[in-house]
Chain A
Amino acid sequence: MTNTTRNLLLYTLICLISLLAPHLAPAFRVQMALLWMMILFALTWDLGGGQMGYNSFGNIVFFGIGCYVAAVVQRDLFFAVEGQSQATGDLATSSPLFNYFNGLAVGLALAVIIAVAVAAGLGSGILGLRGQYFAICTLGVGIAAGEIASGWGYIGAGSGMVAPIFPGGPGQNATFFYYFFFALAVTCFFTLKRLYASRFGLAINAIRDDEDKAEAMGIHTTRYKTIAWCISAVFLALAGGAFGHLNNFIDREVAFPGITFGVWMVLMAILGGKGTLWGPVIGATIFHATQELFWTYLLGWQRVALGLLIVVIVVFFPLGIMGWLRSRWPERFGETVDLEARAAPISLGETR
């Protein structure tokens, strides 16, 4: 069996199980939806933190922007929600165009636009600096966004805001958002897979390995860094918008959960193996499963364990699970090199 057919089989199997999962275990639909969201978190963090060497501790900002923008669009354009407490508002007009799903779509689109604008604006502002400045800056941005959200009356300030209730029977929103997050995570995975195999992937890996040399080789490092961050922002904003709707209630703690989701995405990516495609997926799956199984029994100590776990992984297990597999069984998990392409004469295309 060649590599390609094996991969194809693996993908088909995973997709099949995932598509059937909500029907097999309907009680766990929300948890499984969150699993896909965790995978998405880890993948998007790894794009910057693993592949590019730019640790971001504030990616949660885009998630929060997604949450709030999607909810505000629903509230102001589609549903006339009276006051903050009443969740079931009437539709703003009787036109069939004004329904929950169109509202969600418009909200998500706007969320993506705003998140990308923020990423590009902030990125072009600070990404010319080296990684350490970026890391500390994002640390501040994540908190600042939360502080602003909790003080801004238009988006509900401290008391939060509600998203409209999902039309249809009870529990149907879980199924809908399960498939939504599934599609989103899969799209994200294949987008990144495609990107890592392209010139873009080589460029951001070069930035990670030696930024000065990459720059000297003529790579527009700032541009690549900004684009990479924007891609993270797109997926995180989509995830945020959907999560806000799934959760129905949005406030600072839900939208900017720096100490939970924000730290988890770092942990999951490095646990699975940063800088690999499958690593974040594996890390997120393991983390989410163990968290659901016994994490809750730690009663408040889980966040302490979280910090400890990060230190332990970074210091003692820096390669992560995927990296360990690679070094243990390189013939099975190692990077494959296309020998034919290697042997072919180097094309001198892209000379500008």
Chain B
Amino acid sequence: MVDNLLLLFNAPILSAQLLVDGILIGAIFALAAYGMALVWGVMDIINIAQGEFVMLGGYVTFFLAAAGVHPLYTVPVAAAALYLLGWALYRTVVFRVVDKDMFISILATFGISIFLQQLANQLFQADVRTAESGLGSFFLADGLIVVSQIKVVSFICALILGATLFLFLKRSRLGQAIRATAQNARAARIMGVNTDRVFSTTFALNAAICGAAGSLVVMTWLVHPYLGLAYTLRAFMIVTVAGLGNMASVLLASLGLGAVENFAGFLLGTEYQAAFVFSLLVAILVWRNALLSRQRKYLK
């Protein structure tokens, strides 16, 4: 660890490399996080199966790519497939818990997450998979910084997707209904909004975004059945830091997380990267708790 730290000081260009890599990955986190914020804000549900949507989106791309389709073209397919899955899950399970206590919906989505994870494990085996995009790399700063083109492409894809979603929510009729429901579901219902349809669309949209994110993940990185939890927790972390419904800060927090995680992976070794993500979550919650308890001094 100390060696790696010294290495960073001796070769500052390495930091730039890590930073660029991390930021490019962070944009993918932003998608899952934005979906989580959407569902949390509109339906008051924290979706623990978020990461499983990402994982399944990755598998859609992997299998299509294995069948000969260029992986980049499969991003919309993954999104569409997951849209259907999200819609089906809403129609069968989620609509029954949407107006219940949050701890019921957490248990229900926890069950969904276990179900999807183990289903993927049974159907697709536990092997680590990746989809080869066949793109090369950019060499910056005399070849000292290597940026693979697929990461840049997926970064741009993520930004475009996020922007599309943002515009959809701002401009379209349904987007307005979604935002109205987020503000006050009861009032929206009185004003003639079909909140049930809003909920189903929101949940399906969230799944679709995650599916697209997963499709990007399998191109830039890898996918395996147990991948989900890390993405759920990352999304949760980002939303906790950035707050609900603020696209810009979600993006910023995601890019930051990507960079921090990449540095930690380099310093601690990749075998501790997962442990680092989870520990960071605990640290963030402790910090949040400390912030909030300052406002609650009167109770002591």
* A interface residues, Cβ below 8 angstroms from B: 49, 53-55, 57, 122, 125-129, 131-133, 135-137, 139-141, 143-144, 147-148, 151, 215, 220, 259, 263, 266, 270, 300-301, 303-304, 306-312, 314-316, 318
Partner of A55, one of B103, B119, B121, B240: B103
Kindly state the separation between the CA atoms of A57 and B111 in the bound complex, as whole angstroms. 11
Contact yes or no, A140 B282, CB < 8 A? yes
Contacts A126-B289, A135-B106, A139-B233; is A315 near B96 (CB within 8 Å)?
yes
Bound together, the chains give a CA A220 to CA B113 distance in angstroms of 34
> Which of B114, B240, B281 is within 8 Å of A306, CB to CB?
B114
- Return 28 A-B CB contacts under 8 Å, by A number: A55-B106, A126-B289, A127-B289, A128-B289, A128-B296, A131-B103, A132-B46, A132-B102, A132-B106, A133-B288, A135-B106, A136-B232, A137-B281, A139-B229, A140-B282, A143-B229, A143-B274, A144-B278, A147-B275, A148-B272, A151-B272, A151-B275, A259-B118, A301-B122, A307-B116, A307-B118, A314-B107, A315-B108
Judge whether B140 is part of the interface by a CB distance below 8 angstroms: no
Task: Check B285–A310 contact: CB distance below 8 A.
Answer: no
| A221 to chain B: closest residue by CB | B299
Q: How distant is A49 from chain B, measured CB to nearest CB, in Å?
A: 8
CB-nearest residue of chain A relative to B229?
A: A143
Residues of B in contact (CB 8 Å), total: 46
Q: In the complex, what residues of B have CB within 8 A of residue A315's CB?
A: 93, 96-97, 108
Q: Which residues on A sit within 8 Å (CB–CB) of B299?
A: 215, 220
* B-to-A contact residues, CB < 8 Å: 46, 48, 93, 96-97, 101-104, 106-108, 110-119, 121-122, 229, 232-233, 236, 240, 271-272, 274-275, 277-279, 281-282, 285-286, 288-289, 292-293, 296, 299
Complex Cα spacing A143 to B230, Å = 9
A270 to B108 Cα, complex, angstroms:
11
Contact B118 A125 (CB under 8 A): no
Main secondary structure of the interface of A (DSSP, over half): helix
Q: Is the CB of A125 within 8 A of B282?
A: yes
A141 and B93 contact, CB distance less than 8 A: no
**CB nearest neighbor in A for B112:** A311
Complex interface: chain A residues within 8 A of B119 (CB): 304, 307
Residues of chain A within 8 A of B102, CB atoms compared: 131-132
Residues of B within 8 A of A312 (CB): 111
Of A137, A215, A259, A318, most buried by chain B (CB within 10 Å of CB) is: A137
Q: Which of A128, A133, A143, A309 is within 8 Å of B240, CB to CB?
A: A133
Q: With A55-B103, A311-B112 as given contacts, are A129 and B285 in contact (CB-CB < 8 Å)? A: yes
In the complex the two chains form, is B122's CB within 8 Å of A144's CB? no
A307 to B102, CA, bound (A): 19
Q: Are the C-beta atoms of A136 and B229 separated by less than 8 Å?
A: no
| A308 and B111 contacting across the interface, CB-CB below 8 Å | yes
**A148 and B48 alpha carbons, distance in the complex (Å):** 23
